[in-house]
Structure 1
Amino acid sequence: MRDDGRAPAAGTSGEDILIEEGEGEAAAACGEGADEREGDAEAIEGVEGLLELVVAAHEERVRAEAEKAGPIDGVVVGRIVGFGENGEPLVEAAVLGEGARGGIPARAMTALGPEDEGREVALLFEGGRRDRPVVMGRMHVAGESASAVERAESTATADGERLVFTAEKEIVLQCGKASITLTRAGKILIRGAYLLTRSSGVNRIQGGSVQIN
């Protein structure tokens, strides 16, 4: 007999009761898991919202200080403190004040990479605006190795019609055992396991002297 005085329903066994209790516990567990997931999602959204507010406050402070301090004229020495998501350099300079802490995105007149982080650079400001710095170039470091200078003097230029490679000492084009070397002394050295020259017109060999073997 039940406590309420009614007889148990026909066909209801102990196994059925256990199944019903198990289903109830599973439903409760699913509800708790869903609540936890919703709580995690809300926490993530809260953190992202807070970061957006911090970034917006920083940018607003930079703009306010720029308007208050007035334009910047002439060249300013700054420092690259990092790079943004799109690869733009982030720069700091004493004239920018505390509002530039962490770096201000800048445009650059020359290619810059992670190896330039921490290096001093020359800055100009577009229209004198403090929030629009332009990196004009790297500041030369006294005692910088000659190899770094030579790397800077090795260039490749193209104007759509001609491609020019320029180097201080020599240029080498190499693939496997074949190579072509151009030297500063004016020598052209062609090496390979097999060499073929072919021309639909005149194939001329001309020199002060021609030696074969």
Structure 2
Amino acid sequence: MHAKDGETVPFVGDAEEPRVDSRGPRVGWLVGVDGAGNPQVDFEGNTAGPLCARTIIPMSPKVLADATARRPGAVLLFEQDDLSRPVLIGLLQPASTAPLVEALLSGAADSESALDAHVDGRRVVLEGKEEVVLRCGEATITLRRNGKVVIRGVQVETHATGTNRIKGASVKVN
């Protein structure tokens, strides 16, 4: 007899307790971290309580703690279809209307990990109370609260297919 994900299937020779189908991915949740820093997961139909899970994604202690507090869906597979051997393959992410802003404000991007954000909206607003700094190598663009904009780089170029205007109360060159 074939079952859909999550359905109970009668197991031949075991009339006392139906068996839960473990084929395919299942969404559970992260419930904690054990003493060795391994994630503990639970899922519907699990009668054994929280289980230590292996993971295929690197998860820092901070990420695990945040995920435990938020309790997002944890996508699980099971080694050899054994429900006592979960493998965490990812965490479900909430839909975001401003992924770049959220990624920047969350501080999730540290110096060792790359951050890519694709924004499909027509406008992105990054706001800082005192200043906003965009930095890449030796190039920076700084926007300050007082209205001052500073652009620094080894070489600064401007290109325009139309007019390239420089406006100001006064303009200094060199």
Structure number with larger C-alpha Rg: 1
Q: Shorter-chain TM-score: what band?
A: 0.3 to 0.5
TM-score (norm 2): 0.48
The answer to which structure, 1 or 2, has the higher relative contact order (CA under 8 A, 6+ apart) is 2
The structure with the greater share of residues assigned to strand is 2
The structure with the greater share of residues assigned to helix is 1
